[in-house]
Amino acid sequence: MLVEDSQATRALMTKKYAHCPLKKRPVLVREERPATPPTTPPHPAHLATRLYYDYHCDTENDEPQNLSTKPEDLSKTGNYPSKASSPVATAAVKMEPREWPQQLEYLAACRARLEPAPAELARPSPQYAYLPTLYAPYPLEELYPAAPSLSPPAHPQMYAHYSPASPPSSCSPPPCPEDLRSPGSVSSDSGISVSAPRRPRYQCPDCAKSYSTYSGLSKHQQYHCAAAEGSLARKSFSCKYCAKVYTSLGALKMHIRTHTLPCKCHLCGKAFSRPWLLQGHIRTHTGEKPFSCHHCRRAFADRSNLRAHLQTHSDVKKYSCSGCGKTFSRMSLLSKHLEGGCGVPGASAYEYRPEALPTTHTHQQLPPTATVHAY
DNA sequence: CTGGGGAAGGGGCCC
DNA sequence: CGGGCCCCTTCCCCA
């Protein structure tokens, strides 16, 4: 993603999604589990396997779920939105509140068998060794051959791969937790040039954005190209739930998933548009946290959350106010800072550190390995 | 009020 | 073309 102008991007996104009722928070769908959970929890391996695979990607059912923009906190109230809460939702079913204690008890029993001791919480293995290997255990000793240090890694590039889904091979260099970015995302996202073999680029005739693959360009034109949106001749498939129009049926199908939410969690009934979103959600049930911080051993279920956490270990935060120079670990914190007024005139933009980068843009991203001393 | 964590969303890219 | 994964971002909640 291009980040040289995130404020503009945010504004664009706000505009882009303003018309669309989809915004965060999945909704509850029909609960298909028996009302009474088994008296004895299944083996964690069976549970995890079922948790991951036991969902529908119901392409047959295009009926949308609740599409309200800001549903209440479902986890607290258990009062999941009914179809009445959305003008287009037709299939959302409210779970009977009396089922929740049973669900929670059932989950607690399963979780007790899944969760490691607190001291071991940050380690994904071997407690999760029996999980269905979607997140296969990976030895932290290989990931972090040296003791924790606040010094920048000597060879940051060595640490490109950091994914429990793809553990490093024995002959590969150890991945660096500090650089959690995948290799393929470095150049285009950060604007930092990296030495990579020249490959043919596929350029969008409407907005001049280029992509390394034709499929990338194709998807861009199908879904994202704002410049092409004015060309109605290109659009022939319209979404029946919102005003979106697409140039191909495949693009429309992909979009409709965000309305129909075909991937359903059979433990709590929440529905998601993509399987991997459900996958992440299921971790909230199992307590699986495959991403751990090497500084404090705190573990996270989401890689991005670990990345944000790493900023808290950094002396110099990633986002800085151009007015007062104060740094923040998250852009949202900086935004709050700016919204509240930092007291310095003209402090309306922020910049990424470090200073070595050109500062012609008001919003720049820190290169993955610079100035961050965490890990 | 601020900072941080949890959860979830969409876009980009590779296979 | 579609699935899967990664990334960044956002929203909400809490200490």
pLDDT for the residue A66 = 37
Task: Please give the Cα distance from A339 to A336 (Å, whole number).
Answer: 5
Chain B: positions less than 7 Å from a protein CB are 1-15
Task: Please give the Cα distance from A231 to A149 (Å, whole number).
Answer: 54
Q: At A16, give phi and psi (nearest 5°).
A: -65, -40
Task: Please give the Cα distance from A167 to A140 (Å, whole number).
Answer: 10
Nearest residue (CA) to C1' of B8: A24
Tell me which amino acid residue A126 is. P
Residues of A from 336 to 365 whose C-beta is within 7 A of strand B: which are they?
336-337, 340
pLDDT for the residue A214 = 67
Asked whether strand B has any atom less than 7 Å from the CB of A111, the reply is no
Say if residue A29 is exposed, middle or buried (CB neighbours under 10 Å; 0-12, 13-18, 19+): buried
Using alpha carbons, list the distances in angstroms from residue A276 to A2, A52, A224, A280: 23, 10, 21, 6
Cβ(A282)–Cβ(A51) below 8 Å: yes
pLDDT for the residue A250 = 62
Tens of pLDDT, residue by residue over A164-201, are 333 333 333 333 334 444 333 333 333 333 333 344 55
Residue A274 has pLDDT above 60, yes or no: yes
Q: Mean of the pLDDT values across residues A252-271?
A: 78
pLDDT for the residue A248 = 61
Percent of chain A with pLDDT over 90: 0
Contacts of A111 (CB under 8 A, 6+ apart): A285, A286, A287
Tell me which amino acid residue A329 is. S
Residues of A from 181 to 200 whose C-beta is within 7 A of strand B: which are they?
184-185, 188
Tens of pLDDT, residue by residue over A52-111, are 444 444 443 433 333 333 333 333 333 333 333 333 333 333 333 344 445 545 555 544
Residue A267 has pLDDT above 50, yes or no: yes
Q: Mean of the pLDDT values across residues A319-326?
A: 74
Assign A364 to helix, strand or coil.
coil
Chain C: positions less than 7 Å from a protein CB are 1-14
Tens of pLDDT, residue by residue over A54-69, are 444 444 343 333 333 3
Asked whether strand B has any atom less than 7 Å from the CB of A80, the reply is no
Q: At A320, give phi and psi (nearest 5°).
A: -125, 150
Tell me which amino acid residue A50 is. R
pLDDT for the residue A287 = 84
Distance A40 CA to B10 C1' (A): 39
Say if residue A330 is exposed, middle or buried (CB neighbours under 10 Å; 0-12, 13-18, 19+): middle
Asked whether strand B has any atom less than 7 Å from the CB of A10, the reply is no
Distance A24 CA to B9 C1' (A): 6
Q: What are the structure tokens assigned to A184, written together? A: 């393929």
The CA angle A354-A308-A175, to the nearest 5 degrees, is 80
Q: What are the structure tokens assigned to A246, written together? A: 């697409």
Asked whether strand B has any atom less than 7 Å from the CB of A270, the reply is yes
Distance A25 CA to C15 C1' (A): 23
| A253-270: b (≥16 Cβ within 10 Å) or e | ebbbbbbbbbbbbbbbbb
Nearest residue (CA) to C1' of C4: A276
Mean pLDDT of chain A: 51
Distance A195 CA to C15 C1' (A): 45
Q: At A84, give phi and psi (nearest 5°).
A: -70, -20
Rounded to 10 degrees, the C-alpha dihedral A278/A295/A177/A123 comes to -50
pLDDT for the residue A30 = 43
Distance A246 CA to B14 C1' (A): 23
What DSSP string describes A98-141? Answer: THHHHHHHHHHHHHHHHPPPGGGTT--TTTTTTS-STT----HH
pLDDT for the residue A310 = 85
Residue with the bigger pLDDT between A51 and A212: it is A212
Residue with the bigger pLDDT between A209 and A227: it is A209
